Chains A and B, each alone.
Chain A
Amino acid sequence: MRVALFVPCYVDLIKPEVGVSVVRVLRRLGVDVIYPEGQTCCGQPAFNSGFFDEARAVGRHFLEVFERERFDYVVCPSGSCTTMVSHYYPFIFKDLPEERERSEGFAERVREFSDFLVNVLGVKDLGARLEGKAVFHCGCHQRRELGVLDEPYGLLRNVEGLDLVDWQNEELCCGFGGTFSVKMPDVSTAMADEKIKALDESGADTLISGDSSCLMHLEGRLRRKGHDTRVLHLAQVLDDGKAG
């Protein structure tokens, strides 16, 4: 099994340890991991702001970089960036037959990390250990567009020592929303506060998500409020809670 890693730009630049954990976990499962070095960003910030031409230009670059490589799957530790490629590339290229076909062919082979582990490799238990009481926040693209919800929960339930608890309104968006977080900062922050209130009520000491962007937003707010809640990406948990 040969996997081409798609590392979101903010993971590359701000949370590289998440990418490192993905590599470790995949290698432990015998996967041959490659990293196409020409990759940058999937173009989502431009797309979400309505700049479709700019998103298309970045999308074309993405397709070219990955099409140069030989792989069985592209794996990405973000439900949101996976959705951009698998769902929204066909959307922005819908009137361009050649690129539309290329992006649709790609869509099937781009998989979110937990989706790949569970549904492609058939792995349910990674033998990971992590002490703590945790809640899981599923990013909205992963929950609704990809429908990959049971997969991360299943993997986390098999982590030894981890007490995974329910929290209020767990389906609510964290309020990040890309440029929404700076265009509508008050609403965005109030949405984070609602999540943090539920987190507090759950008694959890650890917040886990499959999307580092949601985590960056929630962690940014948690720290500002003086909370020391541990914040981890799913890949880090499956890599025994390593922070890098």
Chain B
Amino acid sequence: METRKPARERETDDRRDEGISSGVEGFNDRARRAVADQRLHDSIEVFTHKSVAGRNAVLDALPEAPELRERAYRIKQETMAHLDRYLEQMADAVEARSGNVFFATDGEDVVRYIGDLARSKGAKVITKSKSMATEEIELNKRLEEDYADLDLEIVETDLGEWIAQLAGDTPSHIVGPILHMNRKRITEVLSRTAGEELPPDVEALGSFARRRLREKFLTADIGITGANFGVAETGTVVTVTNEGNARLVTSVPPVHVVVMGIEKLVPCFEDLSVFVRLLARSSTGQKLSVYTNFITGPRQTGELDGAEELHLILMDNGRSKLLGTEFEEALYCIRCGACLNVCPVYRQTGGHAYGSTYSGPIGAVITPLLKGHDEAKDLPYASSLCGACWEACPVGIPLHDLLLKLRNQQVEEGLAGKAQEIAFKGFESTMKRPVLYNISSRAGRLAQKPLEKDGSMRPLPGPLSAWTDSREMPPLAAKSFRELWKEGI
């Protein structure tokens, strides 16, 4: 028997790009490289193992967790059914407390609003706390390019995001943006920034980051955050963090800008409590994150802290077109990252293989939905449909069913490719005619004879090489079950 190296040590073989695997090269190529990267795999394993174990422990200790999950789903369902009303309520409440509200159709709108604001304020330094919504629209890059004349210094202040920014890298996980970097790499990045060799210990690196970031916090003209939730009844923006940076971003600079996806709304505080109980538990295995901030408008007369100006940007960017469709559940996501941590595909590939801001099962669902299939044709197939994501999702989004619907959408739109169309027409034709099924199975047994050796198939050509390159394939049995049945069992 031929023995081969495990997949991760093996040089790859590009024959598989032909035939049945066509159309999935983007993810496949990146995934192939990721699978071969043992260091990356080790980093992912450490992070996901810790997150999953923590999550399981805190959820097991919360008997009402299944009920909360059910409630969370219902609340999101109700919110999406009347999203127009809740958005209006949110906007009215923010404006009633002298906040500014802007509805942004897409990323362009957001960039223009913030760029113009920065210009009018004469801003030089912008601090940001972690925000996937701004990653989604590549806000930093777009501001630096489109408003190059302002010479803005935009600084990420979440430690992981900052390191990613310094390294010119993108987040590979919704919650742990640089889980793909090990300590050696982080030390390199921070040492380069410091202009001196820093020791590779957490304390030294953390203390350098704290010193450097503090300068930025204190000199920032504008602070930008995302939002974990928006409470419509009061106009409250909620951020859930562990590092405390969001407090400095929202309270030190005179201007605070919130970029919030329109799906982040919940109707009221009672509903919010359901999500707050689920978010940190599902995400980091904490009962609550270290900081849960509630920001209701800018600083009011008589208040001691808070920004002088608050700008709430409610960003659509493709979300509203999902309302009322079979994909609406994709909007129920609270970005906890639990589906990434349990996903056996993500665990092998990490986030960058997905080639999009959002990775893992939720990324495979919302990227094609928000950007279109052309941008992410491969992602709906980046799943074995095992359902671990659905099981872990604190809102009960049936992610694997959404992936199936996306695959179907591609087929309906003629994007699946001729090879597959022919293959499945043939499949249908054979499987609905028992006579044809029987003839094909006999023909298969004859055809396989020259390809069989020692109870296994030799390496097969074409698309089937995708199997036999790394796995033995059993031959068809000498007699099928139906033949044995006829002979008498």
Interface residues of A (CB under 8 A from B): 7, 9, 11-17, 19-20, 23-24, 35, 37-41, 43, 45-54, 57-58, 60-61, 91, 140-141, 144-145, 171-173, 175-194, 216-217, 219-221, 223-226
Contact A54 B427 (CB under 8 A): yes
Closest-by-CB residue of A relative to B3 is A226
Binds A, one of B190-198, B306-314, B341-349: B341-349
Complex CA gap A175/B470 in Å reads 13
Contact A46 B424 (CB under 8 A): yes
Contact A173 B424 (CB under 8 A): no
Complex CA gap A72/B287 in Å reads 48
Question: Residues 333-367 of chain B: 1 if any A CB is under 8 Å from the residue's CB, otherwise 0?
Answer: 00000000000110111000000000000000000
Name the A residues within 8 Å of B477 (CB-CB).
13-17
Q: A12-B482, A144-B391 are in contact. List 12 more A-B contacts (CB 8 A).
A: A17-B477, A38-B434, A40-B437, A48-B404, A50-B406, A60-B432, A141-B387, A180-B381, A183-B24, A224-B2, A224-B471, A225-B4
Name the A residues within 8 Å of B473 (CB-CB).
220
Contact B385 A180 (CB under 8 A): yes
Of B7, B475, B480, which one neighbours A190 at CB under 8 angstroms?
Answer: B7
Q: Is B102 an interface residue (CB 8 A)?
A: no
Looking at chain B's contact residues, the main secondary structure is: helix
Which 5 pairs show the lowest CB-CB distances between chains A and B? A50-B407, A177-B384, A220-B471, A173-B386, A16-B481
Give 28 pairs: A residue, B residue, CB < 8 Å, sorted on A: A12-B480, A12-B482, A13-B481, A20-B484, A35-B482, A39-B434, A41-B437, A49-B407, A57-B428, A58-B431, A144-B390, A173-B344, A173-B384, A182-B20, A183-B20, A183-B21, A184-B27, A185-B467, A186-B470, A189-B470, A190-B35, A190-B348, A191-B348, A193-B8, A220-B473, A221-B471, A223-B456, A225-B3
Q: Is B59 an interface residue (CB 8 A)?
A: no
Name the A residues within 8 Å of B375 (CB-CB).
none
Contact A220 B388 (CB under 8 A): no
Contact A184 B382 (CB under 8 A): yes
Q: Is B410 an interface residue (CB 8 A)?
A: yes
Name the B residues within 8 Å of A14 (CB-CB).
474-477
Complex CA gap A23/B485 in Å reads 9
Complex CA gap A17/B479 in Å reads 10
Closest-by-CB residue of A relative to B20 is A182
Question: Residues 451-472 of chain B: 1 if any A CB is under 8 Å from the residue's CB, otherwise 0?
Answer: 0000010000001101101111
Contact A16 B432 (CB under 8 A): no
Contact A11 B348 (CB under 8 A): no
Residue in B416, B420, B475 with the greatest tally of chain A CB atoms within 10 Å: B420
Name the B residues within 8 Å of A58 (CB-CB).
427-428, 431-432
Q: How far is the CB of B470 from the nearest CB of chain A, in Å?
A: 4
Name the A residues within 8 Å of B382 (CB-CB).
184, 187
Name the B residues within 8 Å of A224 (CB-CB).
1-4, 470-472
Complex CA gap A184/B12 in Å reads 13
Residue in A12, A175, A177, A178 with the greatest tally of chain B CB atoms within 10 Å: A12
Count of B interface residues, CB-CB < 8 Å: 78
Complex CA gap A16/B483 in Å reads 9
Contact A50 B409 (CB under 8 A): yes
Contact A217 B471 (CB under 8 A): yes
Name the B residues within 8 Å of A15 (CB-CB).
474, 477
Closest-by-CB residue of A relative to B391 is A144
Contact A37 B434 (CB under 8 A): yes
Complex CA gap A38/B437 in Å reads 10
Q: How far is the CB of B370 from the nearest CB of chain A, in Å?
A: 19
Complex CA gap A144/B386 in Å reads 8
Contact B383 A177 (CB under 8 A): yes
Q: How far is the CB of A236 from the nearest CB of chain B, in Å?
A: 13
Contact B384 A140 (CB under 8 A): yes
Contact B401 A140 (CB under 8 A): no
Closest-by-CB residue of B relative to A222 is B472
Q: Is B408 an interface residue (CB 8 A)?
A: yes
A16 with B484, Cβ < 8 A, contacts A47-B404, A183-B24, A193-B6 known: yes
Contact B481 A12 (CB under 8 A): yes
Q: How far is the CB of A20 from the nearest CB of chain B, in Å?
A: 6
Of B348, B388, B404, which one neighbours A171 at CB under 8 angstroms?
Answer: B388
Name the B residues within 8 Å of A61 (CB-CB).
431-432
Name the B residues within 8 Å of A185 (CB-CB).
16, 21, 466-467, 469-470
Complex CA gap A172/B484 in Å reads 35
Contact B385 A184 (CB under 8 A): no
Name the B residues within 8 Å of A11 (CB-CB).
481
Contact A187 B31 (CB under 8 A): yes
Q: Is B218 an interface residue (CB 8 A)?
A: no
A54 with B424, Cβ < 8 A, contacts A23-B489, A223-B456 known: yes
Contact B489 A13 (CB under 8 A): no
